[in-house]
Structure 1
Amino acid sequence: MPFLGSFYGKPMLLLVLTTLMWSGNAVASQLAVGHVSPMVVVFLRWAIVAALMSMIAWGELVASWKAIRPHLHSVSLMAAFGFSGFNGLFYLAAHNTTALNMGILQGSIPMIVVLGAYFLYGARVTLVQFIGILLTLLGVFVVASQGSLAVLLNLHINPGDALMLIAAVFYAGYTLALRNRPKVPALAFFAVMAYVAALVSIPMLAIEYSQETLVWPSFQGWLVILYIAICPSFLAQIFYIRGVELIGPNRAGVFVNLVPVFASAMAIILLGEVFAFYHGLALALVLGGIWIAEKFAWEKQFKKAGG
């Protein structure tokens, strides 16, 4: 994306903005309740993104089609699981579990990415990097439990938790698969992903219709959908693809732990929730963990380069 200039070459900034927009998605989901049903959100968000990609990336897609076509099966699986599947399971889980459980389970994505990178690619995880990941994960637990050990000890498994864990596995798998995506421009690649995600969402929409739970958006529902389509679904996904391309899935996955921290801050600012000590503690743990993991990775690369 040449029009973004040097900004498009700064993975840390891209990934922080990605998690910020994903956090906004959590707030938007709360605002959507009663104004639009979950599968309608999933379908419309990807239908809108597909339309946007047709307008701005059709030329790149046509030029890159010969390179994409041999990988169409794997790209389709990435879109089905990482986009439509994750979104659908996320919204379904919200009806069967608590925000506490969802926060904890979503925070497991980086750990799943690390394990997947180790088993699939033989990626080495050093002790220092592992400590950094544990710190960020601890920050997620602090946010999700509101700083209460008693809350954590009283957790129980329910169907919603199982759905959220499957969703986390889906997105971790998508993150790992980005490492071997076709070597084509990001816009062309994302266009195909958006088309597939929109198509896969249609059966999900049909199921919701058959269960008579489908609710088309009100005016507020449309505002929420437009935000979700443009920010978390369009810009954030492109930034995330680029971030993984620049620093790899293992390191990029750590940034997912910022989502519950940013989401908490947005809830305080936009939804009027009260700021508590554990918010500050969680923020320090998450940012500290990312700093440790990133600093060590940077120093290692610098030494290899002869610096």
Structure 2
Amino acid sequence: MRAYLLLILVVVFYAGNILTGKALSDLPPLTIAFGRIAIAFLVLLPIGCSSAWRFRHLFIRHWKPLLVMTVTGIAGFNTLIYSALQFTSATNVSVLEASIPAVTVLLSFWLLRERLRPVQWLGILLSLCGALWVVTNGQLLRLAGMSWNVGDAIMVAGAISWAVYSIAVKRYLFLFPAHGAVLVMTGLSILCLLPLVIGEWMVVGVPEITGGQGSGLLYLGVFPSVIALLLYNRAVAVLGASQASVFLNFVPVFTMLGAYLLLDEAITLMQIIGALVVVIGVLFTTRDKRESRQFAARPAIPAGGD
């Protein structure tokens, strides 16, 4: 139950990420991604510096899985989201983001041999359909008539990126101290994005950050980038990648509520029905936590502590 509550907080912060990202749409995408990661690094520095240095031999020894988690989760996913929004609509991005749990489940079933009961597969299908129902306002046939473009292809890459990250967290994060690992991955992400953001500034110029945009970047750097990531990693260690990722279907629901409360956007009956279907689907998926015992002997808390 504690892990489920952590995931609800993760969803709230990720919904805030989408709403804040919309407010920062005047900024170039790599600038947003680099700004949030730079802020996250400064926040994490006093928290994870000690454990990162104390267990530096672990990071050197297991640099390959560390690099996979860095590229797919810290540096890659949100950069792809912000880039996709430059070319496609928020609706298309939401539809494709709703596919992440299904992609994660399939990859987990294939790569990790995670086993789910039929009722859990039904729950995953219901939650996916409910998320799509929310973003299409009950008109699922609109999916076939949507105009798809390069931004949608970028978001497909983003969905696959986060699914791979979730699986890598389940498979490898126990090797590292939790806070130290996020600090090191964030630092590596800065190195990965720095040449890209410099290239962006050479093309479009260095943007001037207003006070409101600075506040938005501060939110992105603290809540989705640090707090939500640590909570999600912990939940994956407890529940597994499949059950944890299915909670991401709540993101369109909470985004809808946030838009209603903060942006005065209307909520329709169809969207409420879709939200209820998501809730039912998640309940089905999480009713039985039996998975493959492949990782049962591994510690739920990352080695080395923090």
Shared fold (TM-score greater than 0.5)? yes
What residue number does 2:85 align with?
Answer: 94
- CA distance in 1 between partners of 2:110 and 2:156 (Å): 19
Give yes or no for the alignment of 1:195 onto 2:170.
no
Give yes or no for the alignment of 1:105 onto 2:96.
yes
Q: Structure 1: which 4+ aligned runs deviate by more than 3 Å?
A: 298-301
- 2:146 match: secondary structure: coil
Q: Deviations over 1:105-143 (max 9, x none)?
A: 101111111111111112223211110001100111111
- 2:75–2:193 CA contact under 8 A, matched in 1: yes
- 1:40–1:216 CA contact under 8 A, matched in 2: no
- CA distance in 2 between partners of 1:171 and 1:251 (Å): 14
What residue number does 2:33 align with?
Answer: 42
What residue number does 2:301 align with?
Answer: none
Please tell me the residue identity of whatever aligns with 2:260.
Answer: I
Please tell me the residue identity of whatever aligns with 2:83.
Answer: L
Cα pair distance change 1:299/1:109, threshold 3 Å:
closer
- 1:297 match: secondary structure: coil
Q: Deviations over 1:77-129 (max 9, x none)?
A: 21122122111111111111112211111011111111111111122232111
TM-score normalised to the size of structure 2? 0.91
What residue number does 2:127 align with?
Answer: 136
Among candidates 210, 214, 225, match of residue 222 of structure 1: 214
Please tell me the residue identity of whatever aligns with 1:235.
Answer: I
Among candidates 248, 268, 274, match of residue 282 of structure 1: 274
Among candidates 139, 147, 151, match of residue 160 of structure 1: 151
What residue number does 2:59 align with?
Answer: 68
Deviation at 1:150, TM superposition (A): 4.4
- CA distance in 2 between partners of 1:296 and 1:26 (Å): 31
- 2:126–2:278 CA contact under 8 A, matched in 1: yes
- 1:37–1:216 CA contact under 8 A, matched in 2: no
- 1:96–1:158 CA contact under 8 A, matched in 2: yes
TM-score normalised to the size of structure 1? 0.90
- CA distance in 2 between partners of 1:146 and 1:134 (Å): 18
Give percent identity, aligned residues only.
29
Aligned length: 292
- 2:132–2:140 CA contact under 8 A, matched in 1: no
Cα pair distance change 1:43/1:178, threshold 3 Å:
same
- 2:175 match: secondary structure: coil
What residue number does 2:2 align with?
Answer: 10
- 1:215 match: secondary structure: coil
- CA distance in 2 between partners of 1:169 and 1:129 (Å): 21
Name structure 2 gaps, 5 residues minimum. 294-306
- CA distance in 2 between partners of 1:27 and 1:157 (Å): 22
What residue number does 1:251 align with?
Answer: 243
What residue number does 1:297 align with?
Answer: 289
- 2:64 match: secondary structure: helix
More helix per residue: 1 or 2? 1
- How large is the Cα RMSD of the aligned pairs? 1.9
- CA distance in 2 between partners of 1:100 and 1:213 (Å): 29
- CA distance in 1 between partners of 2:60 and 2:51 (Å): 14
- 1:46–1:194 CA contact under 8 A, matched in 2: yes
Q: How does 1:178-189 map to 2 (within 5 A)?
A: 178-181=169-172, 182-189=174-181
